[in-house]
Homo-oligomer: A and B are copies of this chain.
Amino acid sequence: MIDVANIQPRMLMGPGPSDVNPRVLAAMARPTVGHLDPQFLEVLNDTRDMLRMVFRTENELTLAVSGTGSAGMETCVVNLVEPGDRVLVCVAGVFGTRMAEVARRTGAEVVTIERPWGQVFTAEEIAAACEQHKPLKLVGIVHAETSTGAAQPIPAVSEAVHAAGALLLVDAVTSLGGMEVSVDDWRIDACYSGTQKCLSCPPGLSPVTFSAAAEQAIAARRTPVQSWYLDMTLVRKYWGSERLYHHTAPVNMNYALHEALRMVLEEGLEARWRRHTAAHEALKTGLERMGVRHLAAPEHLLPMLNAVAAADGVDEAVVRKRLLDEYGIEIGGGLGAFKGKAWRIGLMGESATMRHVEALLSALREILT
C-alpha cells in the first residue's frame, strides 16, 4: 500500500491538474469546520464575490458546484434544458462531443454543428446553423478545447446566438484565469469552469455563473431539474442568504478555492493572461526549433494548452513516460482523433512559468536527440 506522505511532487504540464501553490495546499489543510459555521459561510461569500471578479460578471447566481468541471457542464445543461427543448452544440473536439452527449441525456432534441478537430467556427456558420434549427433554447460551445488547443471566437459566436434568440452556454474549464473570459461583455448566459486548470487549485469544484436570462429560463421550467444534486434552484438557497441545507459542502476544497482565487486576484487577471501568453510564446519558439509543430492554426492557438504533433519517428507514449520517470514532468497524450499522434502540453496557472518551459524543453532535447 502506498503511503500518501511519500507521494513525489511532479511538474504538472499536462491538460490539468496544474501545479498547486503551497499556500493553496496549506489552506486546504486547515481544520474542517461545519458547513453552516459562520466562518465557512464567510468563505462562501468571499468565493462568490471573487468568482464574479474572475468571470467578469455581476451575475447573482454565481457559485462553485460540488464536483469537477464535468459536473459543472452537467449542471449548466440540466438546469437550462428539459425534454422538448432543442439544443445546438458546436463540436470541434472531445469536450464539445461530451456536451452534446450530456444534453442528449436530458431528453432534449440535440443537433450539432461540427468542425474538424483544431479548427474554429465562424459567426456565419453558427448563424446559419441557428437559422436552420430554430427555434433553439440553447447553443453550447467550448471556449478552449483541451483536446485540440484551439480557441473559439466567443464574442462573434455570441452575436449569432443572441440574434437567433437562444441562450449561450460556454465551457471555460480550461480558459478561465489564463485568457480573457468576459461573461457580461460577451453576453454569455451560462458558463462553467474547473478549479484544476488556470486557477491552480486541486480538482474537485466547478465554478458556474448564470445570467438573468438564464435564471428566467430556469424559473420557467415545466419539469424539475433531472439532477437533484445539481439543481440550482435548491443549491442557490444554501449559497444565498437563506442558508438552507441542501448537501454538505466540500469544506476543505472550498478553502483551497478561496485561497487560489485570492492569488489570482492578487496577481490581477490581465497580468495573469500576459504570463500565460509569454510562457506559451517561449514554449512555441523552443518547440519549433526542435521541429515540433502546433496542431491548431497559429491565429487560434490557446496559450495554456499546446497540442502539438509528436516528433517524427518516436513513440509518443515512451517520451511521456521518460519525461515523468526521469524528469518528474507530466505532459498529456492525444485524445480521440489525436490519440497516439500528439502531445498536450499545459501551461496553466502556477505551471505557466519560464522555469516550467525551460525544464520541459531541456528534457525534450535530451530525450529526442
Contact = CB atoms under 8 A, between A and B. Distances in A.
A4 B17 contact: no
Contacts of A335: 245
B46 A32 contact: no
Copies of this chain present in the complex amount to: 2
A151 interface: no
B31 A7 contact: yes
**Residue from A7, A40, A253 with most neighbouring chain B CB atoms (10 Å):** A7
8 contacts: A2-B39, A7-B33, A7-B40, A17-B248, A33-B330, A67-B67, A202-B253, A253-B253
If over half of A's interface residues share one DSSP class (helix, strand or loop), that class is named, otherwise mixed; here it is loop
Interface in A191-208: 194, 196, 202-204
A70 interface: yes
Interface in A1-39: 1-2, 4-5, 7-10, 12, 14, 16-17, 19-20, 25-35, 37-39
Interface stretch (A123-131, A222-230, A283-291, A308-316): A222-230
A259 B68 CA distance: 21
A255 B7 contact: yes
A30 to B, nearest CB: 5
Interface in A252-280: 252-253, 255-256, 258-259, 262
A247 B70 contact: yes
Contacts of A303: none
A93 interface: no
Interface stretch (A84-92, A98-106, A160-168): A98-106
Contact of A37 (B102, B246, B324): B324
A77 to B, nearest CB: 9
